[in-house]
Amino acid sequence: MTASVQSVDLPRSSDWTVLAANVPGGVITSQDARYEEARKLWNGMIDRHPAAIVRCTSVDDVAMAIGFARQHGFEIAVRAGGHNAAGLATVDDGLVIDLRGMNQVAVDPERRIARAGGGTIWKEFDVATQEHGLATTGGVISMTGIGGLTLGGGLGHLMRAHGLSCDNLIGAQVVLADGSVVTTSETERPELLWGLRGGGGNFGVVTELQYRLHPVDGMYGGLLLYPRARGVEALQTYRAVTASAPDELSTFIAFLSTPEGAPIVAFIPAYAGDAAAGEAAVAGYRALGEPIADMVGPMPYVALQQMLDEGFQPGPHVYWRSHFLTGLPDAAIDVIVAGANAAPSPLSSVLVEHLGGAVARVGKDETAFDHRDAEYNFAVIAVWTDPAEADVNIAWARGVWEAMHPYARGVYVNYLGVGDGVDRVRAAYGPEKYARLAALKREYDPENVFHRNQNIVPAKA
C-alpha cells in the first residue's frame, strides 16, 4: 500500500463554511484573496494548488482538519516552516494543515527542557531558549520549522557538541489519522519516539515537541572567505582540520558566490565555547593564508543561527541532491571543486558538513536516524530565478551528485529532493531500520493517510 486513496466527495460551500467557523485561524480556498500568497513555499520551483489551507491554532483544529480531509477524500499535506526543498508541505487539490499558528515556546530553565508548538520556527525557538542561556541543536537557517528538521534528524551548529536535533527530542504530542491525540516519551510509547527521531512525518501530525536544552552562552564562529581558486587547498585544509577537531567545533565548507557574483569558498565554523578556545580551534583554517574576508569571532548564538538567512530567502527555484560521505579523498575533492566551478548559476552552491562528535556517539539503534558513522554530508544545491533555466541547472546538480557516487553511502532524509523515490528513502535508513519503521507505520498509520513526506510504506499485516 503506497497511499490511502479515497474517491473525492467535493465539499459543498456550506461544508467549508462550517469548517471555517470551527477553526479560529481560518480556512483559505482559491476564492480567497490571500490564497496566492498562502500557497507559496520557500522553494519557488514548487507550484501547487491545494483545495484549501487550514490554519490551525490548536490540537482540536488539527483533528478537525484531518477528519474533514478524510471525509471528503482529500490528500493531506502538513506545513510548518514550508522550507522542505522537495515541496512536501503542499499538495495539488488536497488539504494543507498549516501549523504556523501553533508556535508557542515554553522553557523550563531549571529542568533545561523546552516545549514548542509544531509550527514553531528555529528563530522563535532560539530566542526563547537563549533568554535563559540555553539552546539545542537547530537548523542553520532560522526560518526552518523545528518539526520538519527534527523529525528528519536535524543537522546544525551544535550537533558535534550536543547531537542532532532528534537526539535532543525527548517527547512529542501527535494527532493520528483517526483524530486521536497521543503523547510519546522515553517511557510512554517509546517506539513511537524512536520513529520520530529521524523517521519524518510518517506517523501523524506532530503538534508539540519537547527538547533537552544545553547551556550555550555564546559562540565563536562566522564566515572565513577565500578565492575560489584556492578551492582544492581549502578542502584539503578542511579535511585536515576536521580530522582532529574538538567536539565543540562544527564546520561546513561551502562553494558559493558573493552577491556581486564572484566565486568564493567559505569556511563556516561554529565553536560552542569560550572565544580563546574557539580561536585556537579554527586556527587551522586561517593557516590557509590571507582571506578575502575574516568574519569569524565571538557572537551570540541567535546571531549565528540567523547569519545565513539572507542567502536562503523564499522565492528562487531550488533543486537539491545529497550524499553522506565516508571521507574526502583527493579524487572526491577534485569532483567537488570541478562541479562547483561548472555551476551555471551564481546562486547555486556546493557544501560539505562535518559530522562525528556527539552525532557518532549515539548508538546505531537508538534512533531511526541512520549513518551515524558517516564522516561528512555533501549537498549540491542548484538555485535559479528564471523558470526557463530549470533544465540546465537541474542537469548540473544531477551531474555533480552522480560524480560523487563512488564516495557516498546513504543519504540524509531531510536533503532528499524533488524526484527522489522509494529507493532513496530506503537508502536513508538501511534495510533493518526501514523494516522497523514500516512496522511502526502499520501500527500508527496503516492506511498511509500521511504520505506527503519521505514516505515509509506500511508493512503488510
Per-residue pLDDT reduced to its tens digit, 443-455: 999 999 999 999 9
What is the model's pLDDT at position 378?
98
What is the model's pLDDT at position 14?
81
Q: Is residue 1 part of a domain?
A: no
- Tell me which residue of 33, 25, 27 sits closest to 52, measured CA to CA: 27
Q: Is residue 434 part of a domain?
A: no
Number of compact structural domains in the chain: 3
Residue 177: pLDDT over 70: yes
Q: Which residues pair with 444 in a beta bridge?
A: none
Q: What is the mean pLDDT of residues 145-155?
A: 98
Same domain assignment for residues 130 and 93: no
pLDDT in tens, 361-399: 999 999 999 999 999 999 999 999 999 999 999 999 999
- The C-alpha atoms of residue 196 and residue 176 are separated, in whole angstroms, by 13
Higher pLDDT, 8 or 461: 461
Same domain assignment for residues 81 and 126: no
Give the model's confidence band at 5: pLDDT under 50 very low, under 70 low, under 90 confident, else very high. Answer: very low
- The C-alpha atoms of residue 128 and residue 190 are separated, in whole angstroms, by 27
- Tell me which residue of 88, 137, 122, 128 sits closest to 109, measured CA to CA: 128
Q: Is residue 70 part of a domain?
A: yes
> Please, are residues 381 and 350 in contact by the beta-carbon 8 Å criterion?
yes
Q: How far apart are the first and last CA of the chain?
A: 11
> Please, are residues 451 and 4 in contact by the beta-carbon 8 Å criterion?
yes
- Tell me which residue of 294, 290, 281, 288 sits closest to 232, measured CA to CA: 288
Same domain assignment for residues 223 and 372: yes
Q: Is residue 439 part of a domain?
A: no
Q: Is residue 456 part of a domain?
A: no
CATH number for the domain including 407? 3.40.462.20
Based on its alpha-carbon atoms, the radius of gyration of the chain, rounded to whole angstroms, reads 22
Q: What percentage of the chain has pLDDT greater than the value 70?
A: 98
Which residue is listed with cell 555533501?
378
Q: CA–CA distance from 316 to each of 21, 47, 297, 313, 398 (Å)?
A: 35, 12, 31, 8, 18
Q: Is residue 452 part of a domain?
A: no
CATH number for the domain including 197? 3.30.465.10
Same domain assignment for residues 296 and 398: yes
Same domain assignment for residues 178 and 257: no
Give the model's confidence band at 420: pLDDT under 50 very low, under 70 low, under 90 confident, else very high. Answer: confident
Measured over the CA atoms of residue 197, residue 86, residue 41 and residue 359, the dihedral's sign is: positive
Same domain assignment for residues 168 and 240: no
- The C-alpha atoms of residue 263 and residue 260 are separated, in whole angstroms, by 9
Same domain assignment for residues 167 and 306: no
Same domain assignment for residues 235 and 352: yes
CATH number for the domain including 21? 3.30.43.10
Same domain assignment for residues 45 and 144: no
- The C-alpha atoms of residue 194 and residue 419 are separated, in whole angstroms, by 27
3-state secondary structure of 35: helix
Residue 419: pLDDT over 90: no
The C-alpha cell at 434 is 526501514
Same domain assignment for residues 110 and 94: no
- The one-letter amino acid code at 55 reads R
pLDDT in tens, 121-130: 999 999 999 9
Pairing state of beta strands 205-212 and 349-354? unpaired
pLDDT in tens, 71-114: 999 999 999 999 988 999 999 999 999 999 999 999 999 999 99
Question: Across the beta sheet with 181-185, what order do the strands follow?
Answer: 105-108, 113-117, 205-212, 169-175, 181-185
What is the model's pLDDT at position 341?
98
Q: Looking at 98, 114, 133, which one is the last position of a domain?
A: 98
Q: Is residue 232 part of a domain?
A: yes
> To the nearest whole number, what is the mean pLDDT of the chain?
96
What is the model's pLDDT at position 384?
98
Q: Looking at 75, 98, 121, which one is the last position of a domain?
A: 98
Range of the domain at 87: 13-98
Spell 425-435 as b/e; 16+ CB within 10 A means b. Answer: bbbbbeeebbe
What is the model's pLDDT at position 1?
47
- The C-alpha atoms of residue 12 and residue 390 are separated, in whole angstroms, by 39
Q: Is residue 461 part of a domain?
A: no
- The one-letter amino acid code at 432 reads E
Q: What is the mean pLDDT of residues 415-421?
A: 84
Residue 321 φ then ψ, to 5°: -135, 150
Residue 388 φ then ψ, to 5°: -70, -15
Q: What is the mean pLDDT of residues 335-348?
A: 98
Residue 401: pLDDT over 80: yes
Q: Looking at 80, 98, 116, which one is the last position of a domain?
A: 98
The pTM is what? 0.95
- Tell me which residue of 379, 453, 455, 383 sits closest to 411, measured CA to CA: 379
What is the model's pLDDT at position 123?
98
Which letter does DSSP use for residue 145 in this model?
Answer: B
pLDDT in tens, 389-398: 999 999 999 9
Give the model's confidence band at 6: pLDDT under 50 very low, under 70 low, under 90 confident, else very high. Answer: low
Q: What percentage of the chain has pLDDT greater than the value 90?
A: 93
pLDDT in tens, 269-313: 999 999 999 999 999 999 999 999 999 999 999 999 999 999 999
Same domain assignment for residues 291 and 381: yes
Q: What is the mean pLDDT of residues 22-51?
A: 96
Same domain assignment for residues 212 and 223: no
- The C-alpha atoms of residue 296 and residue 225 are separated, in whole angstroms, by 10
